Amino acid sequence: MLGLGGSAAAAADSVDLPGWEAGLEEMLARIEGRFRQRRSWERANAYVRGLLSRAQRKNGWQLAEQVGEATPDGMQRLLNAYRWDADGVRDDLRGYVVDHLGHEQGVLVADESGFLKKGTMSVGVQRQYSGTAGRIENCQIGVFLTYASPQGRALIDRELYLPEHTWCAHRDRCRQAAVPNQVAFATKPQLAQRMIERALEAGVPFGWFAADEVYGQNPGLRAWLEGKAISYVMAVPCSQEFGTESGPRRADALVAGLPGPAWQILSCGQGAKGPRFYDWALIDTTSPAHRLLVRRSLTDPSELAYFICHSPARAPLPELVAVVGTRWTVEECFQAGKNEVGLDHYQVRLWHAWYRHVTLAMLAHAWLAVTASHSRPDTTTDTYAVGDECAPQALIPLSVNEIRHLHASLTCPARSPGPILAWSRWRRRHQARARQCHYRRRLHRFLELAASRSSP
């Protein structure tokens, strides 16, 4: 074990590299049965290790170079051609997360993330709103399910959103992208419901479900959750109506009449810079199982957020506030997934290739999350009371980002110049062919345009 020795700081800094490697091998061994051939499983192992490496971009080219292969052909075959069960790997991933992070107080969180694209051939791509970019962009949208518990958080399921009018209505286009014939249009809440159903069937332990407005304002999803006796806290727009003694009223109208004592200052969890304090108010409705939860900024009282809460047993305000705070963990998973393991670095166009890359990236992220959980000392020093001074040698626990960096740095062998130069030649040769094709295509379009202008 590597560490500073002695003291609480050393406990937070200890690096059990052999233990990390054993955990990675254990996780990868779980998925072996999902591959028809050992060769494809071994390449998947190399792919996951490449996602955990120091490569700047985690696409087929750089992953192949990172693991010492001469060309990217093998990595591309893994995503496009080899016969293996990506949904089975997803199930193994979910089981791995539950085994290590499972807790009866777990929260399932659904949210979508955008993957920006330049062309029109990638499956599911169209101009649509991307929360990642904060505007309408040419992108794909993936819907994800996160598992968050006191032990940690990780992505456990995924679905690709296939737009109705630009994709589902054009079966020829779907066939070109290898979309299975049985795939039909499904809304984002419907995709989230499918993933929750799989979690229920797998016996995932959780107490709450949380999501943003896209899901909270969908009556079908709410009814399904209630039919399954699943407690939830979901964001809703200010226009959402709630039942009162005087009839349905908008959420913002109900808040307008609240007296000052109705508000309580509570923290919904630790942020990067300390506790996230807000004003909170809980409003009863004519439905015993539904309440309106309101969050108000302490610095800008006009900044309000609304949440619909359902639970068979009436949960206290602090518990509901904690669930709202847990909802943000999915954003942390997206950020770590994209920054650390290349969740969005793929260069694939086909339906199954998207699922394969995303699943293997989620697997790599899950290992980081589990390793971070196991590396966390029993007593941490990452929270401080107001007025406390940070000890000179105090350390926060090892994070997902730091573990990925340390593992890549400590396990990456020194490379000889030969393979580096060979890959440089391969890239430049490929780029030369691409440039020639682009130039030829542009010249051909120019000649056609010139001919059309010169003709009478």
Instruction: Identify the burial level of 20 via C-beta atoms within 10 angstroms of its C-beta, where 0-12 means exposed, 13-18 middle and 19 or more buried.
Output: buried
Sign, Cα dihedral of 256, 315, 112, 366: positive
What is the C-alpha separation between 60 and 47, in angstroms, rounded? 9
**Percent helix / strand / coil, the chain, rounded to 5:** 45, 20, 35
What is the C-alpha separation between 29 and 23, in angstroms, rounded? 10
- What are the C-alpha distances in Å from 142 to residues 84, 106, 164? 21, 22, 15
What is the C-alpha separation between 118 and 80, in angstroms, rounded? 20
pLDDT at 153: 96
Split the chain (456 residues) into runs of 10 and give each run's mean pLDDT: 46 74 96 95 95 90 87 93 97 98 97 93 94 88 97 97 97 96 97 98 98 96 97 97 93 92 92 86 93 95 96 92 94 95 94 98 98 76 47 71 86 66 66 77 74 68
Residue 175: other Cβ atoms inside 10 A: 11
Enter the DSSP assignment of 164: I
Q: For residue 91, give the nearest of 198, 207, 191 by alpha carbon.
A: 198
Q: Give every CB contact of residue 296 below 8 A, 6+ residues apart in sequence.
A: 263, 278, 279, 280, 281, 303, 304
CA end-to-end span of the chain: 82
Residue pair 382/360 in contact by the 8 Å Cβ criterion: no
What is the C-alpha separation between 163 and 33, in angstroms, rounded? 33
Angle at 368 between CA 362 and CA 373, to 5 degrees: 125
Widest Cα–Cα separation across the chain:
89
Residue pair 99/87 in contact by the 8 Å Cβ criterion: no
Q: For residue 30, give the nearest of 77, 85, 80, 96 by alpha carbon.
A: 96
